[in-house]
């Protein structure tokens, strides 16, 4: 398995993973089609503005997943941190170690940037992702609570 920097020919693959970001349940006020469209827009924006911090996982000629990384500043401490802004694995390679390798790449990237912490956000209903993160040493810090009115 190879993890490498994003290249222009990866665009179609990265965009094809947008549905993976909405493949779990949401609170009732979130429209899955609107969420999908917003994820597609965010992916295009990331490709246009942050492609140098996107990494693609491949095995032979098969795409497996990708991860996008950014800098982040903790609101309370003002400490600079690495931030995983997107990570998605193809359905076929889910549970086969791709996510773990992409998270390891994120750690390497963060250390190279001088960050001592790596953060991410995940929807509460995305249980598979939460399990992956916990298995790799991530802990919950803040929880966003919502009440529909």
Global model pTM greater than 0.85: yes
Whether the pLDDT of residue 112 is over 90: the answer is yes
Q: What is the CATH number of domain 2-135?
A: 3.40.630.30
In the predicted structure, residue 46 carries a pLDDT above the cut 90: yes
- What are the structural domain ranges in the chain? 2-135
9-26 pLDDT, tens per residue?
999 999 999 999 999 988
- Give the pLDDT score at 109: 98
Please compute the mean of the pLDDT values over residues 62-69 and round it to a whole number.
Answer: 98
Q: What is the residue-wise DSSP string for 97-130?
A: THHHHHHHHHHHHHHHTT-S-EEE---TT-HHHH
Mean pLDDT of 38-57: 97
Residue 105 has pLDDT above 90, yes or no: yes
Burial class (CB in 10 A: 0-12, 13-18, 19+), 105: middle
């Amino acid at each position: 398995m190879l993890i490498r920097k994003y290249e222009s020919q990866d665009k179609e693959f990265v965009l094809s993973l947008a549905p993976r970001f909405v493949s779990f349940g949401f609170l009732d006020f979130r429209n899955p089609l609107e969420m999908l469209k917003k994820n597609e827009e965010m992916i295009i924006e990331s490709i246009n503005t942050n492609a140098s911090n996107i990494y693609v996982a491949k095995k032979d000629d098969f795409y497996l997943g990708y991860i996008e990384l950014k800098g982040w500043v903790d609101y309370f401490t003002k400490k600079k941190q690495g931030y995983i802004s997107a990570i998605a694995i193809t359905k076929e390679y889910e549970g086969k170690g791709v996510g773990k390798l992409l998270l390891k790449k994120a750690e390497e990237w963060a250390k190279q940037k001088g960050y001592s912490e790596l953060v991410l956000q995940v929807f509460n209903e995305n249980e598979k992702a939460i399990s992956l993160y916990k298995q790799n040493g991530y802990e919950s810090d803040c929880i966003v609570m919502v009440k529909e009115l």
